[in-house]
Structure 1
Amino acid sequence: MSTFKRLKDKEKSAARVIVSVLRRGFQATVHGLAGLVKLGRQKLTIMLVPHSEKRILNIQISIFGLAGIFIVLIGATVFLSWSALNYSSVAAKLAGKTSNLQETRDDLDLTRDHVNRLINAARQFQASLDSTFNNLGLSSSSPQADSGSGDLAGFFELDQSGAGNLRELSELDRVTAWLEQSVRPLAELETILSSQGDILTEIPNIWPIRAGLGHITMYYGQNENPIFGSWYMHKGIDISTFRSGDPIVTTADGKVVDVAYDNGLGNHVIVEHKYGFITRYAHMSAFNVQKGDIVRQGQVIGFIGNTGLSTGAHLHYEVHLGTATIDPLRFINSRPNQTAGLNN
Structure 2
Amino acid sequence: MAKVKYYYDSENLAYRKIKTKKRKKFGIAILFLVASALFGFLSFVILLNTPYFDTPKDRLLIREIENLKLNYDILNKRMDQVDNVIAAIEDRDNNLYRTYFNTSEIPEEERKSGFADANRYEILEGYDNTQLVLNTTKKVDVLTKELAIQSKSLDYILKLAKEKNKLLAAIPAIQPVRNENLKRMASGFGYRTDPFTKARKMHEGMDFTAKIGTPIFATGDGTVVEANSNASGFGNHVVIRHGYGYETLYAHLSKYNCKAGQRVKRGDIIGFVGSTGRSEGPHLHYEVHKDKRVVNPLNFYYGNISAVEYVAISKLANQENQSLD
TM-score after normalising by structure 2: 0.44
TM-score after normalising by structure 1: 0.41
- In our comparison, the structure showing a higher alpha carbon Rg is 1
